Amino acid sequence: MNNETMNNETMDTPSVVKEFLAAHSTLTLATVNAHGMPQSAPLFFAAQDDGSLVFVSSAKSDHSLNVAATGRAAATVHHETWNWNEIAGVQMEGEVRLIPAGLEREKAWDAYSAKFPFVTEFESEVSRSEFYRFTPKWVRLIDNRVRFGFRQEVALRPPQPVTSGPGEQGNEG
């Protein structure tokens, strides 16, 4: 992203968010514990084509226990800077769920190991951890490189139900 392509009149915000997430490695996941206290954790993540983010964690970690209880979290992805006019990031609120063993988990592993090839060296350790899927329900891009205080929300389409029967075309939304 550069300032010349970041004109808010013509910006394709979903594409900018997708590119931003692909260019960054770490999200901060914010959850709330059973006592109502906020907690946060930095986690490597891989973005999926459907807009969700997958991450790996121990089922016994505080954030995993919190999402197991509530199914909800907030997340932010940003790059590090020391200049206020370079602050940029993505803020999200959404749902988190454990990815069960099987094809979905295999696809999560494929995406995660493609983004972080070094994890193949630790595959046995990762296999003892769990994969989780964060599905955003609200997304906001912030980017002071456009102008101070610039923010733009991404309109998310709700999942479209598949209403096809045998021999019928599915609803591709």
CA distances from 9 to 1, 13, 16 (A): 15, 10, 13
pLDDT (0 to 100) of residue 156: 75
pLDDT (0 to 100) of residue 170: 42
pLDDT (0 to 100) of residue 124: 84
CA 142, CA 9: separation in Å to the nearest integer? Answer: 15
Domains of the chain: 3-154 (2.30.110.10)
Instruction: Extract the tokens encoding 98.
Output: 């454990």
Going by their DSSP bridges, the two strands 26-32 and 72-78 should be labelled as: antiparallel
| pTM value surpassing 0.75 | yes
Cα-only R_g, the chain: 18
Reference 88, options 11, 171, 167, 170; nearest CA is 11
Residue with tokens 């094809």: 103
CA 60, CA 66: separation in Å to the nearest integer? Answer: 10
Per-residue pLDDT tens listing for the chain (173 residues):
444 444 444 567 888 999 999 999 999 999 999 999 999 999 999 999 889 999 999 999 999 999 999 999 999 999 899 999 999 999 999 999 999 999 999 999 999 999 999 999 988 888 889 999 999 999 999 999 999 999 999 877 654 444 444 444 444 33
